[in-house]
Amino acid sequence: MRRSYIIKAGPIITVFALLSACQTEVPHPQSTRAAEPPAPVSPAQRAALFGELHMHTAFSTDAVMLVGTTVTPDQAYRYARGETVTVLGQPIRLKRPLDFMAVTDHAEQIGVGYEMLDPRGRGAQTPFGARVRAGKPSMDDLRGIFLSKTVDPGVDSESIGRSTWKRVVDAAQSNYQPGRFTTFVGFEWSSTPTFQNLHRNVIFKSADVAYPYSAADSERPEDLWSYLEANRRRGIEAMAIPHNGNLSNGLMYDWKDSDGRRIDRAYALRRQENEPLNELAQTKGVSETHPSLSPEDGFADFAIFEGLFNGGISKASGSYLREALGRGLVLSEEVGANPYLTGFIGATDDHGGLFNTDEAAFRGGGRYSAAKPFTLEDARALLVDDKNGAPINELNTGSGGLTGVWAESNTREAIYAAMRRRETFATSGTRLKVRLFGGWNYDRALLNKQRRWDMAYAGGVPQGSNLPHRPTRAGAPRFLVWAQKDPDGANLDRVQIIKLSTIGGKMRERIFDVAFDRGRRIDSATGQLAAVGNTVNLTTARYTNSIGAAELASLWVDPEFDPAHPAVYYARVLEIPTPRWSTVVAIQHKLPAPKSVPAVIQERGWTSPIWYEPNG
Amino acid sequence: MADRGMRGSFTSFLREPIFHFVLAGSLLFGLVQLNTPPDPQAIRIDDRVISQLAARYQRQFGEAPPADRFRALIGRHIYEEALYRHGLALGLDRGDEIVRRRIVQKMEFLAGDEGDVGEPTPAQLRAWYQTHQDRYRQPEQISFRQIYFSPDKNGEAAALTRARNALQKVTAGVAVDAIQSDQFSEGEHFILVEPGQIERIFGSSALTQQVSSLPLNQWSGPLRSGLGWHLVRLEAKIADKPPALESISGRLRQDWREDRMAANQRDAIGRILKDFVVVRAGVAKSL
């Protein structure tokens, strides 16, 4: 393929190629660039950008109370884009900077904890402020953050909130560097009725923003949508991204609306419009599926986190995205619109303001900041399978996920547009890349074509879309799937296509291994692909890329297609086994590896789905 | 004589400390009369107070206060003013660390706000740029081509061997198109890319570290990236030279002004500090 990697498309490139032969006076591109109008970019030029859409800073009151962070949004953005920042007197720098980020502090009591950290601040003298500064919040304080009705911080939260919000927007504005690093303004709406998580992150398209809507305004997602819709009518565009369905106790992807009525067409259409994406992977678990929901999926038992904050266990049914895709099909047959027409993203939900998904540098999703020295005692405390007085069991947390978008340029416009059309993928923190296209006429030869992506876009749709109308004589849908390893990470084990369909109003789930390295075959007797193996050395925490593949691609045709019923497909890519962060911590500190969590994991990526709707 | 005596005693009276004392006292008294309400127990809510309250609300919430909010604001103002004045009368401001810090902060703020620093002249802008060139340097950019040999085809050793053989061929003049290589999904020709972009594509690898120091216009390698083996031909290299002044004049102007404001603040604070004599006693003498 002759696709060139171009920073800014345009005629200057040609000029430059000519000039470059004679190494003498070369004009600096900066001076010529400005004069050139931007050339239209074909979708085939879209590149994968990696970002974080769920980051808390000291402006989140729980981040101050639980993690004790002092990192501001400005510092969080500067750190994410690779600048050295000084936190707690330590200069620190992110090894692998991000392409984009949204700081999403809790709207509830936004800025209040930070204000109380300052002994000069308003409210520093209140009992609430004293508890915040001591890092000893009560359970009521924590509840109060999300439901400000129940706690009185003793200060004018709204006035603090207004000035905090201005700082949030300013930080996003001053750190936006189109072409290099994109910032989004965001906040988290943290509705948690009786400890069941209904949280959504709101991400604004531009710097035209509205003051955050909080769970104190309403706990109902429908009311959050009304806020978004009212803003949209005023020209303020934003989307809500639900997260941690795994902790919703069945509420996040329910059959019913907030009033207990079965989802109708109007609800489905509003949810599609306001929630085009769902966060699938993050520190507090992966919400793809649960072993009890997907008994035939040999890889379903990954990063399961189901402990509610009050000690209960979240019910699996209604809490996971794969099942939601299936429910969406059932509901769309019923009411003519799919409420769960959603793409996937990954994020960290870090509460320290310092982005990290590196398994070798992760220290549990809680108290241990990258800026603080990590001692043997800390390691010992962290590896105990217990809450240790913290609100979550940190040993069960994962190193956090990442969002991949296929976008023409690193700008708010291009990235937000990719999010809107759901041309995204989620990863468990690794920077593998994955693409899925669906169409009716794709040809196997496409895989080796130089202009592969031009043809893929011309003959079908990318991840996140509905398949084009099925031509009369077409057979089953065809899918082009491609994945590439993280250049600094592990090889790929396999690519799978996961299919949900309906039979007689019931959901059906199927998993197909569609691409894997040349050395392996699917056993014709069992239909199973042999395991990839394991190179992890449990005394050194090292692995080698001697198994698996650097790149996998396949053209897959659905062998069980039924044109009469809707279906949905997404790709899942698995890496070869690598040590889990807890194994790395144990080995580094010469401690026994904890028994209750796996020593090795298979990091992975998930594309947004592609849907089939029967014609007519 | 008498006249002269009168004049003499009048001028000497002008030099008397008591005159200065009385003069200063009456001036102060006059100022105080102008600036404080006649009755320290009276809290006056006039148009000035109203517009201050409205402006503060507007700054914070982005809109004029609605009528019901206004009554609350006035109530709050009366409440705070009464407690504030009574507290001052009791001398609560003295020895209070919070009040002390607030006043220090206010002074710092005022010192930084000593009038507009104006616009830089072209010469000042140039001089600023000359002395701060490092701050504006752009990262090095390079252009290169690469040929890829994937370990997915027959493994790592085979990929390396294929790359070595290919290098011999291209060096001997065989056309690149005739080389049996693998398709690299990120493209073959990289134009004006920066180190950060190269690392995002090729990983933190030998290729990333060495590519910009390869000889120009000839095939080099094989170099390992995070994805496999590559032959690389460096075609152009733009050192991290500073950009033209005109292309960044907006940023230069902004930085110059910020620097000036910071300097003004330092000067203003310096002038305040200069008027104080520090007396060290006890242990402090040796610190």
Domains of chain B: 2-94 (no CATH), 99-136+244-287 (no CATH), 138-238 (3.10.50.40)
B2-15 and B17-35 helices cross at what angle (nearest 10)? 60
What is the C-alpha separation between A303 and A574, in angstroms, rounded?
14
**Residue A150: which pLDDT band, with cuts at 50, 70 and 90?**
low
Residue B192 and residue A549: Cβ atoms within 8 Å?
A: no
Summarised one tens digit per residue, pLDDT across range A550-596 is 999 999 999 999 999 999 999 999 999 999 999 999 999 999 999 99
Smallest Cβ distance to A5: which of B150, B193, B226? B193
More confident residue, B249 or A477: A477
Q: How many CB atoms are closer than 10 A to CB A446?
A: 21
> Residue B149, SS3?
strand
CA distance linking residue A254 with residue A270, whole number of Å = 15
Dump pLDDT digits (tens) for A378-432.
Answer: 899 889 887 766 667 889 999 999 999 999 999 999 999 999 999 999 999 999 9
- Residue with the larger pLDDT of the pair A207 and A2: A207
The CA dihedral of A85, A409, A403, A207, to the nearest 10 degrees, is: 70
Residue B3 clears pLDDT 50, i.e. is over it: no
Report which of residues A338 and A121 the model is more confident about: A338
Cis peptide, bond prior to residue B222, ω within 30 of zero? yes
Instruction: Give the per-residue pLDDT at A252.
Output: 98
What is the enclosing helix (H) or strand (E) of A530? none
Tokens of A150: 């129940």
Residue A155, Cβ neighbours under 10 Å: how many? 20
What is the average pLDDT across A481-492? 98
Please tell me the predicted confidence (pLDDT) of residue A4.
44
Percent of chain A with pLDDT over 70: 89
Is the model's pLDDT at B131 over the cut of 60?
yes
Mapped onto helix, strand or coil, the DSSP state of residue A478 is strand
Single-letter amino acid code for the residue at A299: F
Q: Over 50: is that where the pLDDT of A360 sits?
A: yes
Please tell me the least confidently modeled range out of A14-18, A324-328, B236-240: A14-18
Q: Give residue A18's pLDDT.
A: 32
Q: Which of A20-24, A107-111, B62-66, B180-184 has the lowest mean pLDDT?
A: A20-24
pLDDT band for position A29 (cuts 50, 70, 90): very low
Q: How far apart are CA B56 and CA B74, in angstroms?
A: 12
Interface contact flag, A518 B152, Cβ < 8 Å: yes
What percent of chain A has a predicted confidence (pLDDT) above 90? 70
What is the amino acid identity at position A249? N
State which H helix or E strand residue B247 sits in.
none
- Residues of A in Cβ contact (< 8 Å) with B98: 119-120
Q: Compute the average pLDDT of residues A108-123.
A: 79
Contact B227 A485 (CB under 8 A): yes
At A467 the pLDDT is: 98
Hey, are the CB atoms on A487 and B203 less than 8 Å from each other?
yes
CB distance A458 to A441 below 8 Å = no
- Distance in angstroms (rounded) separating the CA atoms of residues A326 and A322: 7
Higher per-residue confidence, B5 vs A376: A376
At B75-101, the pLDDT tens digits run 888 988 888 888 888 888 887 777 787
Considering A25-29, A91-95, A433-437, the range whose residues carry the highest mean pLDDT is: A433-437
Q: Which two tokens stand for residue B223?
A: 């170099």
The minimum CA-CA distance between A139 and chain B, rounded to whole Å, is: 30
User: How much is the mean pLDDT over chain A?
Assistant: 88
- Tell me which H or E stretch contains A515: strand A506-516
> What is the nearest CA distance from A259 to chain B, expressed in angstroms?
33
Q: What is the pLDDT of residues B244-282, one digit of tens each?
A: 888 888 878 878 887 888 888 888 888 888 889 888 888
pLDDT band, residue A35 (cuts 50/70/90): very low
Chain B residue numbers touching A30 (CB-CB < 8 A): 138, 243-244, 247
Residues of B in contact with A45 (CB under 8 A): none
Chain B residues with CB under 8 Å of A2 CB are 187-189
Instruction: Give the pLDDT confidence of A340-353 residue by residue, as tens digits.
Output: 999 999 999 999 99
Q: Which amino acid is at A531?
A: A
Contact A448 B235 (CB under 8 A): no
Residue A390: the pLDDT is 67
Lowest mean pLDDT among A142-156, A305-319, A530-544: A142-156
Residues 6+ away with beta carbon under 8 Å from A441: A459, A460, A471, A474, A478
Write down the number of H helices and E strands in chain B: 11, 4
Instruction: Give me the pLDDT at residue B73, please.
Output: 86
Instruction: Count CB atoms within 10 A of the CB of residue B158.
Output: 14
Assigned token pair, A52: 């974080």
pLDDT of residue B5: 44
Q: Assess whether pLDDT exceeds 60 at residue A527.
A: yes
Rounded to whole angstroms, what are the CA distances from A114 to A90, A398, A584?
20, 27, 33
> Mean of the pLDDT values across residues B100-120?
74
Alpha helix segments (H runs only) across A444-534: 452-459
**Least confident interval from A127-141, A212-226, A338-352, B42-56:** A127-141
pLDDT tops 50 at residue B123? yes
Q: Which of A16, A486, A550 sits opposite B192 (nearest CB)?
A: A16
Q: Cα–Cα distance between A351 and A362 in angstroms, integer?
A: 13
- Interface with A, mutate which of B96, B150, B152 (most A CBs under 10 A): B152
Task: Show residues of chain A in contact with B201, CB under 8 Å.
Answer: 5, 487
- Cα A129 to Cα A119: distance, rounded to the nearest angstrom: 9
- A193-207, B13-27, B111-125, B226-240: the lowest-pLDDT one: B13-27
Average pLDDT of the residues of chain B: 83
Tokens standing for residue A147: 């439901």
Q: What is the pLDDT of residue A8?
A: 36
**Sequential DSSP letters for A438-464:** EESS--GGGGG-TTHHHHHHHHEEETT
User: What residue in B sits closest to A447 (Cα-Cα)?
Assistant: B183
Indicate the residue of A29, A450, A550 with minimum beta-carbon distance to B228. Answer: A550
Complex ipTM more than 0.90, yes or no: no
Judging contacts by C-beta atoms under 8 Å, the chain A residues touching residue B189 are 2, 4-5
Cβ contacts (< 8 Å) between B141 and chain A: which residues?
29
Q: Would you state the pLDDT for residue B136? A: 79
What's A293's DSSP letter?
Answer: T
Rounded distance between C-alpha atoms, residue A349 and residue B170, angstroms? 50
pLDDT at A309: 77
Q: How far is B190 from chain A (nearest CA, A)?
A: 5
Residue whose C-alpha is closest to residue A509's, from A300, A302, A346: A300
Mean pLDDT of A203-212: 96
Q: What is the pLDDT of residues B197-245, one digit of tens each?
A: 999 999 999 999 999 999 999 999 999 999 999 999 999 999 887 888 8
A1: nearest CB among B150, B187, B227: B187
Within 8 A of B187 by CB-CB distance, chain A residues are: 1-5
- E runs forming strands in chain B: 141-149, 189-193, 219-224, 229-238
- The string of pLDDT tens digits covering residues A234-288 is 999 999 999 999 999 999 999 999 999 999 999 999 999 999 999 999 999 999 9
Q: Provide the greatest CA pair distance for chain A.
A: 75
- φ, ψ dihedrals at A289, nearest 5°: -160, 175
